[in-house]
Structure 1
């Protein structure tokens, strides 16, 4: 376990114990096979090899039931009061620990709506049901979703520092790539510039496979979540790049828009500049509204109203979402209110959450489309922008056509 990873685990376990107390839960049980459960990084910074039971207790004394192959790895974490091994099946060992703990409320990773909190497989649930009895399980089980949601969304001090590193790598790579882009390059070639620089830094893509290309879209060729293609940049093109980078298990999510000047141009056309300025204004207003206690839809409404006030179509997606372990990290979303109500946009914004803010202009028929995305930390003192904001439209000079 890395030093940063160990610090994060200790901070998260301290937070988990407090949350168990708040929700009057005695034990949070994580049952997993081969590291399947997405909650694992918050309690151990290692990959499990076999079926594992982790019991996080309100008392602050925690147990892990692991295979003999996993014993040394778990013992080295120094976060468990007991690391207990089993041979072929852990039924007997688990029952012994369970009866000693005798929880009146047992939190399980089950959720009806969000995969990030739904890590318990049906097979292991049936195993637990058979082991302790279906009536007993129904009597004591509760969902861990409210606990895990808080644990995931509200970042600890060590988590915030790692996210900052991911963001710093991202903005540095953007700046380096901007100096290399030229008319005549394809979307794939521009994307490869990002991959080359990720490899140089020992970091990976935050979405998809480790060295997938980021989203690179020449606007006239279609703006969507599509893979970069062989479309070639020509003078007068708007190019949007949406780039998520993973560093030490945490990600950034930042987007930038560029304009490739035509021969004789020294600045972007008025319609392109006007659209860019509208997006920057909407981001500024959305960031100012990002305060603890606000609901997700309230912040979305601010960014959405700003885009519309500038005369552009309403945003086709949410104004923002959380980032952390994942590029879309669950919890409160800065999205529009709909009927029936969506729990995610009704959620309260909290200090310690990190949001990607992206009010976007998307138009049809080749009209200017602009995407700029910034990463912002919520604090009690006000929002803290973690990314280097794009306040000016990036332009690439005309050097002739290849």
Structure 2
């Protein structure tokens, strides 16, 4: 396991070297303590207890400056040409190392819009400013945001394999839960079915605590990002489930919609079926547009148009987002253009990115709402749907699935 984790991080550092060359930056500095920077799991795989400085270099001679107690963790990665240690205070050793490297440009993890690229805390920035001088830092610093977005977005072969495994486990759990669901269960009871299936497979939730249930919402009880409630499902209910699963540090994000049949019904009512069909068509059209060179907002426009043309309210969220190490993995978002502009929706779609695609029918006052979400890999050819698509509304009787 450790070897495979290391190989992923080794490949991400190779990507980083190429990006430094492309953007003509010689040094990328990551300052971290107590897991403060979200780029560390992706690039290094070490959670520093004490303050540490990581120097990623264009020439591949990467360095780590760390405390004595953290030294072994950094050396164990095999990623560094040198691991330098400080004992009481890092300032003096950092200054010596910085002068030795003498960077011409210094990439730092700060961003005005992407939290996954904004790992340099204000306190550590002020520390750096004090150690090397505000004027000197101002002449060197540049945001690493462009590089870090690409590193998170463009998945290696091993990363795609892990996402695929997470997706397969997710759809497998959905199948298992649907075989057990019955009208009359509470939202909490349905959520607990997912927890038990995760435990059976030794996997955990990709959002929140490891054994948190997924989002389980009976539309009649209110559709929102909330925990399952004691609401008891009854005939005629639409139940929406949104589930992210983590497998070896990579996640899925897949949503499904069910309908609780009323006595005597063999199929959902026409208005519910029509809402479902509209959502599925919006997903299909969005996936078709998910090709290299398109911008995020262009894909959003396609899915949004299908929903609106059918007479439903416009989508309240983005049509899609990236998944990877995080359920919302940053980078380009399939969202609408706004004023002021959002850099993420202006991003260009690239091969190797994985998106959760979810154009949704959302209405108020208990009217039909549908959420179906699929995970899709962008390639130079056609998009590859990683998840087993939901193309039919799951219908549930009191005691069995149809």
Find the counterpart in structure 2 of residue 247 from structure 1. 247
- 1:394 Cα deviation (Å)? 0.6
- 1:399 Cα deviation (Å)? 4.0
- 1:227 Cα deviation (Å)? 1.3
- 1:290 Cα deviation (Å)? 0.3
Structure 2 gaps of 5+ residues are none
Find the counterpart in structure 1 of residue 301 from structure 2. 301
- Determine the C-alpha separation between the residues in 1 that align with 2:149 and 2:279: 30
TM-score after normalising by structure 1: 0.97
Give the 3-state SS of the residue equivalent to 1:66 in structure 2. Answer: strand
Give the 3-state SS of the residue equivalent to 1:239 in structure 2. Answer: strand
Find the counterpart in structure 1 of residue 204 from structure 2. 204
Give the 3-state SS of the residue equivalent to 2:77 in structure 1. Answer: coil
- Determine the C-alpha separation between the residues in 2 that align with 1:103 and 1:150: 22
- 1:116 Cα deviation (Å)? 1.0
Find the counterpart in structure 2 of residue 162 from structure 1. 162
Do structure 1's residue 317 and structure 2's residue 314 form an aligned pair? no
Alpha carbons 2:114, 2:331 under 8 Å: kept = no
Alpha carbons 1:66, 1:86 under 8 Å: kept = yes
- Determine the C-alpha separation between the residues in 2 that align with 1:372 and 1:251: 17
- In angstroms, what is the RMSD of aligned CA positions? 1.2
Query: Which range is displaced more, 119-128 or 215-224?
Result: 119-128
- Determine the C-alpha separation between the residues in 2 that align with 1:321 and 1:74: 32
Do structure 1's residue 99 and structure 2's residue 94 form an aligned pair? no
Find the counterpart in structure 2 of residue 46 from structure 1. 46
Q: How does 1:83-98 map to 2 (within 5 A)?
A: 83-98=83-98
Structure 1 gaps of 5+ residues are none
- Determine the C-alpha separation between the residues in 2 that align with 1:239 and 1:124: 46
Aligned pair count reads 400
Question: What are the Cα deviations for residues 57-82 of structure 1, in whole angstroms up to 9, with x where unaligned?
Answer: 01111001111111122111111000
Find the counterpart in structure 2 of residue 372 from structure 1. 372
Alpha carbons 1:13, 1:42 under 8 Å: kept = no
Alpha carbons 1:163, 1:250 under 8 Å: kept = yes
- Determine the C-alpha separation between the residues in 2 that align with 1:223 and 1:126: 43
Q: How does 1:229-268 map to 2 (within 5 A)?
A: 229-268=229-268
Deviating beyond 2 angstroms after TM superposition, the runs of 4 or more aligned structure 1 residues are 397-400
- 1:113 Cα deviation (Å)? 2.0
Question: What are the Cα deviations for residues 142-197 of structure 1, in whole angstroms up to 9, with x where unaligned?
Answer: 11111111111111111111111111111111000000001110000000111111
- Determine the C-alpha separation between the residues in 1 that align with 2:118 and 2:338: 24
Find the counterpart in structure 2 of residue 63 from structure 1. 63
Give the 3-state SS of the residue equivalent to 2:236 in structure 1. Answer: coil
TM-score after normalising by structure 2: 0.97
- 1:322 Cα deviation (Å)? 0.8
- 1:4 Cα deviation (Å)? 2.4
Alpha carbons 1:187, 1:233 under 8 Å: kept = yes
- Determine the C-alpha separation between the residues in 2 that align with 1:52 and 1:137: 18
